[in-house]
């Protein structure tokens, strides 16, 4: 089929359905979407709480537990161990489908009746304050990670040892306050560093050792602010710095961020990406508008997929041997042909409109089932009955759709129609908008969220009486002893209370790092400023002959070091980039960037 233009039901903006999209929809036996890719993504994101832990009652024991779900959420929650046990069976909640009522209304009732697991965790040792994680040991407030040990405040980490305040880090050790550091040892205050050792305050580095305050280097050692030093002079320079001083580190952060902006960035982070577009994509083929996709093939409009996934559209988290996934999230580990599902894993196949199902197949509208087949609304059927009833329900979903009122001021009272082929409406999520990753990537204020029909909740956090203001902490780590472990500190940003835990304090003393003046949430927000959103715009390369265009925000002009393919003329290349227009970075195309860096 030819490319087709449509108007999004949600944002009312035009979007395009490409010919290969139609091919995928035909293969999956689903109708084309009525929402644009961005609105579909945000709709899924609203079902994902990544970093918030709540105290609530366990609905089986009555004890207070930590949970992914706030007490105000209209669901039942069992503690993780009991939920995964054979002590109960979600089939007991099975019910007949009522053709006099809308499918989505009935499914919401079932979804809120069947207990959910308190957290999504596997094989955790001394890591009770973590979630969405597996194989953690001595981890504190670590989220969406695997194989993390002796670490704290790590989000999206994989194989991390003794790491603190990291976001998107794989195979790293003894690293701190960094974003996107892979194969790293002793990397501090840095962004996008791979295969690096003893690197400080640096950005976009590969294969470097003993570098300080640098950007865009490859295979270098003993560099300071992008200038080469002898080994002796390098060590002498560092010995004269007081990296244990909070004020000194603050001055260095300002200096290096100014330096980073003087060097061009590549329009996208794509490594070994064949016929692919997106951001943070690596070893992929035929990926379109992918975000944080690794070792996958034939993927579109998807985010946060780990090796491997194939033939998936609108798929958020996580992959691991999965294929033919559509409009689903938090589903993976040998899953296939899942449509409109969340939290279905492992080994699930041929499932639609379901949640929290395990090792099952041929389910429609089910919640919490384990090792089941041919079930609808948690009720068992024969194979023949199942497929006949499934077809009738799909027909009924189209004849009697769920209708949601558009609450935005500019389109108030317009209806959003949910027939077969739509993911669950945002109002079905147990989370408020500000409790989810939607708020991380597409932040809204309370009135903005509510005007769009999203729920907003003040985070239910216990308030503690603070004993010291962050600004009154000793400037230098040398002046801090373990009495700090007894202090309740008032955050210098949001004013909330936070503490320094034992292994964190020992790490600061061992490396010689100052105490943080912000709580873990505010520190995360500072790191997140370096994260590009999964949102693309058309842009031109900013290479203008012998130098870059001048950035109006900073006045920066980068002087090229070698001649480029376009000579003295402006680079003609255009591209899709996730760098927002308000970012002051100098953005180069692939050719111009590689000419300068490699």
Rounded Cα distance between 189 and 249, Å, is 9
Q: What is the pLDDT of residue 410?
A: 56
Helices and strands (H and E) in the chain: how many: 12, 37
Rounded Cα distance between 301 and 9, Å, is 18
**Nearest Cα residue to 192 out of 208, 181, 207:** 181
143-188 and 191-200 as β-strands: parallel, antiparallel, unpaired?
A: parallel
Question: What does each C-alpha distance from 381 to 372, 385, 393, 579 come to in angstroms?
Answer: 10, 6, 14, 51
298-302 contact pairs (CB < 8 A, 24+) = 300/20, 300/21, 300/24, 301/37, 301/40, 301/41
Q: Which residues pair with 288 in a beta bridge?
A: 300
CA 113 to chain centroid: 29
How is 320-346 classified by DSSP, letter by letter? SSEEEEEEEEEEESS-EEEES-BS--S
Burial of 115 (0-12, 13-18, 19+ CB in 10 A): buried
Instruction: List all residues 6 or more positions away from 320 whose beta carbon is below 8 Å from its beta carbon.
Output: 306, 307, 308, 309, 332, 333, 334
Rounded Cα distance between 354 and 328, Å, is 10
Q: What is the pLDDT of residue 461?
A: 72
Q: What is the pLDDT of residue 407?
A: 59
Looking at every residue in the chain, the average pLDDT score rounds to 96
Q: pLDDT in tens for each of the 598 residues of the chain?
A: 789 999 999 999 999 999 999 999 999 999 999 999 999 999 999 999 999 999 999 999 999 999 999 999 999 999 999 999 999 999 999 999 999 999 999 999 999 999 999 999 999 999 999 999 999 999 999 999 999 999 999 999 999 999 999 999 999 999 999 999 999 999 999 999 999 999 999 999 999 999 999 999 999 999 999 999 999 999 999 999 999 999 999 999 999 999 999 999 999 999 999 999 999 999 999 999 999 999 999 999 999 999 999 999 999 999 999 999 999 999 999 999 999 999 999 999 999 999 999 999 999 999 999 999 999 999 999 999 999 999 999 999 999 999 987 655 555 567 899 999 999 999 999 999 999 999 999 999 999 999 898 999 987 777 889 999 999 999 999 999 999 999 999 999 999 999 999 999 999 999 999 999 999 999 999 999 999 999 999 999 999 999 999 999 999 999 999 999 999 999 999 999 999 999 999 999 999 999 999 9
Residue 117 main-chain phi, psi, to 5 deg: -70, 140
Secondary structure (3-state) at 449 = helix
Q: What is the pLDDT of residue 60?
A: 96
Q: What is the pLDDT of residue 458?
A: 87
CA 498 to chain centroid: 24
Secondary structure (3-state) at 82 = helix
Percent of the chain whose predicted confidence (pLDDT) is above 70: 98
Q: What is the pLDDT of residue 464?
A: 87
Token readout for 74 is 């209209």
């Amino acid at each position: 089929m030819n490319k087709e233009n449509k108007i999004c039901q949600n944002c009312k903006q035009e979007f395009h359905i490409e010919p290969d999209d139609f091919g995928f929809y035909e293969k999956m036996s689903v109708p084309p979407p009525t929402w644009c890719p961005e609105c579909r993504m945000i709709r899924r994101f609203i079902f994902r709480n990544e970093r918030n832990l709540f105290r609530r009652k366990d609905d089986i024991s009555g004890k207070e537990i930590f949970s992914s779900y706030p007490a105000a959420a209209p669901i039942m929650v069992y503690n993780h161990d009991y939920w995964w046990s054979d002590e109960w069976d979600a089939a007991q909640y099975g019910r007949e489908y009522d053709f006099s009522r809308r499918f989505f209304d009935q499914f919401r009732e079932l979804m809120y009746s069947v207990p959910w697991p308190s957290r999504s965790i596997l094989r955790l040792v001394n890591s009770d304050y973590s979630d969405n994680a597996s194989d953690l040991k001595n981890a504190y407030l670590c989220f969406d990670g695997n194989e993390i040990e002796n670490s704290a405040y790590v989000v999206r980490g994989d194989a991390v040892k003794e790491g603190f305040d990291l976001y998107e880090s794989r195979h790293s050790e003894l690293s701190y306050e960094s974003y996107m550091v892979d194969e790293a040892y002793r990397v501090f205050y840095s962004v996008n560093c791979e295969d690096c050792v003893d690197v400080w305050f640096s950005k976009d580095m590969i294969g470097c050792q003993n570098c300080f305050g640098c950007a865009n280097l490859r295979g270098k050692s003993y560099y300071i602010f992008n200038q080469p030093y002898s080994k002796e002079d390098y060590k002498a320079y560092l010995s004269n710095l007081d990296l244990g001083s909070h004020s000194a580190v603050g001055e260095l952060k300002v200096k290096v961020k100014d330096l980073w902006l003087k060097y061009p960035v590549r329009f996208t982070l794509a490594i070994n990406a064949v016929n692919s577009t997106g951001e943070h994509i690596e070893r992929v083929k035929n990926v379109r508008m992918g975000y944080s996709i690794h070792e996958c093939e034939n993927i579109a409009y998807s985010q946060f997929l780990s090796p491997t996934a194939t033939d998936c559209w609108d798929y958020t988290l996580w992959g691991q041997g999965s294929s033919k996934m559509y409009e689903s999230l938090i589903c993976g580990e040998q899953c296939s042909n899942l449509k409109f599902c969340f939290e279905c894993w492992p080994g699930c196949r041929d499932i639609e409109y379901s949640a929290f199902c395990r090792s099952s197949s041929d389910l429609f509208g089910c919640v919490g089932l384990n090792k089941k087949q041919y079930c609808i609304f948690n009720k068992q059927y024969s194979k023949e009955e199942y497929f006949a009833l499934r077809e009738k329900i799909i027909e009924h979903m189209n004849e009697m759709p769920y209708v949601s009122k558009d609450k935005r001021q500019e389109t108030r009272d317009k209806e959003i129609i949910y027939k077969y082929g739509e993911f669950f409406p945002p109002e079905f999520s147990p989370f408020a908008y500000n409790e989810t990753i939607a708020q991380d990537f597409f932040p809204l204020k309370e009135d903005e969220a509510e005007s769009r029909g999203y729920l907003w909740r003040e985070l239910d956090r216990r308030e503690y009486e603070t004993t010291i203001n962050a600004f009154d902490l000793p400037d230098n780590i040398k002046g801090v002893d373990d009495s700090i472990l007894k202090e309740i500190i008032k955050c210098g940003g949001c004013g909330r209370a936070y503490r320094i835990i034992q292994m964190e304090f020992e790490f600061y003393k061992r490396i010689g790092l100052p105490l943080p003046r912000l709580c873990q949430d505010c520190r995360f927000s500072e790191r997140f400023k370096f994260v590009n959103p999964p949102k693309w715009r058309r842009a031109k390369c900013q290479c203008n002959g012998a130098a870059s265009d001048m950035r109006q925000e900073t006045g920066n002009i980068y002087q090229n070091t070698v001649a480029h393919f376009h000579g003295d003329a402006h680079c003609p290349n255009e591209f899709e980039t996730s760098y927002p227009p308000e970012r002051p970075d100098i953005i180069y195309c692939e050719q111009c960037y590689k000419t300068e860096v490699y």
